[in-house]
Amino acid sequence: MTTNKTPAKSAGSAWINLLVDYGPLLVFFLAYRHFTPKGGDAGLAAVVGVTKSTVAFMLATVAALVISKWRLGRISPMLWLSSTLIIGFGALTVFFGDPTWIQIKPTVIYVLFAAILFIGLRFRRPMLRDLLQSAFDGLDEEGWLKLSRNWAWFFVFLAVLNEVLRHFFNKDNGGFETWLTIKVWGVTALSFAFTFAQLPMLLRHGMGELVATEAETTTPHD
């Protein structure tokens, strides 16, 4: 199979995808660690840290939209949807001074994406292709349908996981930082592992190895 993407160009796009997808979340984590007062009341510390870091999160999300349009020439519908919800729930977090809103945000995004994918599957339309606005060279229709199905169920799993984590680690018990750490490092690593696990199926459905490498960094995210 031939492709017009050079390895250098593919690698460059992969790094931009990673920056756009996970850069704002990393900014949120680092800002929280920076702004959270050391010592004192855990609840108050969480509110102060979350309020300031949420503003940084929102600004980084807007920057990610600009970078995506500038360097990739597009903003995928999935990025538009997730960014809109980040800004919306971020605004609620800042306005009410309540970290609960930003913790709920991932669950809402996961449920929304899962619903979109399941509705598409009902009509045998691979909505993941539309959400990502990406057509991996050579991947056939059946491959897209399977990928949409797998991500739909994975989003359901992530929604349940986030609600469990939010129940045990929140501002009321001083566990917000634990939730955020798991969200940034644990859930992100889990998403990459799940994405990597899809590659054998993608290769069986016509996707070339070069493009499969790019697919590892073109992942649905919140």
> Domain ranges in the chain?
7-215
210's CB contacts (< 8 A; 6+ apart) are 3, 5, 7, 10
Question: Do residues 129 and 218 lie in contact, with contact meaning Cβ atoms separated by under 8 Å?
Answer: no
pLDDT at 63: 96
What pLDDT does 122 receive?
96
Residue 185: name the closest of 46, 30, 15 by CA: 30
**Out of 94-98, 108-112, 154-158, least confident range:** 94-98
Question: Vertex 35, ends 31 and 39: CA angle to 5°?
Answer: 135
- The pTM of the full predicted model, rounded to 2 decimals, is 0.86
Q: What are phi and psi of 41, to 5 degrees?
A: -70, 125
Whole-number percent of the chain with pLDDT over 70: 81
Q: How many CB atoms lie within 10 A of CB 25?
A: 22
Tens of pLDDT, residues 111-121: 999 999 999 99
